[in-house]
Amino acid sequence: MTDLVPTPLQIDFDLWVRLKQARIEAVLDQILPSVQTVPMALHSAMRYSILDGGKRIRALLCYAAAELYCPQPSPTDITLTDIAACALELIHAYSLVHDDMPCMDNDDLRRGKPSCHKQYDDATALLVGDALQSLAFFILSTSNLTNNAQQQLFMLNLLADASGSKGMAGGQAIDLAAVGKPLTQDKLETMHRLKTGVLIEVAVLLGANSAIYSANSDNNHSLALRNFAGNIGLAFQVVDDILDVEADSNTLGKTTGKDAENNKPTYVTLLGLKKAKSYAEQLHTEALLALTPFSDQAQRLQQLANFIMHRSF
């Protein structure tokens, strides 16, 4: 009898992306309190800020890393990988909502829509971000997800570390302090590693850990994944800086040219456009090289690395 159901690795990359984006959307929709749940205004604003938008790069990295170890995920049950992917997107969305506020980047446009504080107000945006963060840790601590609470606790610990003052929030603080000041490439890299890179790295690690169900994972694999994720996280940021100069707001779904306007150091202002592009290529190559130990199993991660490099939005 012929098996007519294609395995995930046989699905075309574009379709895989759309399927995973649809899946994360459905799980987020189920996890977020409905607009009928009190307080309704807050829940409505939370849903506005996370549903129906974004490339879901962190979720995609999480799914792709999970498929290294579990190439046939359950098509119907909500898995620990789904929950990890949602938690990553919740943390990312909270950071965008707070980052767009007037006291931070003061950005009116996000994912092609008015940003949360423009659509609602500053106080609502503050509470939306706060509550999205709590929700990330709430779903990842749900007790019936696995039989391995130790593993789940470890994943939660990684995510909390990546979100806090030594991770994403710390990167934001360095970013704010850097406005109008020239930075060396080292310092710019530290800032971006914290602000964006650490969460992208953790997306890969959470995905892998959600599928292994064991703390005894191969150390070489773990190092290779960190190496891949570190390089691709930085490449992501360099490409972001290039797009901020080259793309238009409609394609990007957020205001372009903001960094220059805000007098923020970027890879383009530091290296110039040409060198920034070749630096992104170099990071991309190193990321792909790091995947060697996984051979063909890492196809999705390779494709995602290419996607991150050549995206136009």
Q: Which of 10, 143, 219, 312 binds a copy of itself (CB under 8 A)?
A: 143
Q: Does 156 bind a copy of itself (CB under 8 A)?
A: yes
Residue from the set 52, 121, 218, 281 that interacts with a copy of itself by CB under 8 A: 121
Q: Determine the Cα–Cα distance for residues 175 and 173; give it in Å rounded to an integer.
A: 5
> Residue 11 interacts with a copy of itself (CB under 8 A)?
no
Tell me if 231 contacts a copy of itself by CB under 8 A.
Answer: no
Residue 173 binding a copy of itself, by CB under 8 A: yes
* Near a copy of itself by CB under 8 A: residue from 167, 197, 230, 265: 167
Nearer to a copy of itself, 165 or 214 (CB): 165
Q: Which is nearer to a copy of itself, 7 or 150 (CB)?
A: 150
Separation in Å, CA 142 to CA 26, 83, 129, 150, 153: 18, 9, 21, 13, 10
Q: Which of 9, 15, 26, 41 binds a copy of itself (CB under 8 A)?
A: 41
Q: With binding defined as CB under 8 A, does residue 103 bind a copy of itself?
A: yes
CB of 277 to a copy of itself, least distance (A): 29
* Choice between 8 and 129, CB closer to a copy of itself: 129
Rounded distance, CA 212 to CA 117, Å? 40
Buried b (16+ CB within 10 A) or exposed e, 106-118: ebebbbebebbbb
Identify the DSSP state of 213.
-
Task: Say if CB 85 and CB 208 are below 8 A apart.
Answer: no
Helix (H), strand (E), coil (C) string for 220-274 = HHHHHHHHHHHHHHHHHHHHHHHHHHHCCHHHHCCCCCHHHHCCCCCHHHHHCHH
- Nearest-CA neighbor of 25 among 60, 61, 1? 60
Q: What are the structure tokens assigned to 66, written together?
A: 């999970």
Instruction: Say whether residue 98 binds a copy of itself (CB under 8 A).
Output: yes
Closer of 67 and 82 to a copy of itself (Cβ):
82
Residues at the interface with a copy of itself (CB under 8 A): 33, 37-39, 41-43, 46, 94-95, 98, 101, 103-104, 121-124, 126-127, 129-131, 133-135, 137-138, 141-143, 149-150, 152-154, 156-157, 160-161, 163-167, 169-170, 172-174, 176-177, 190
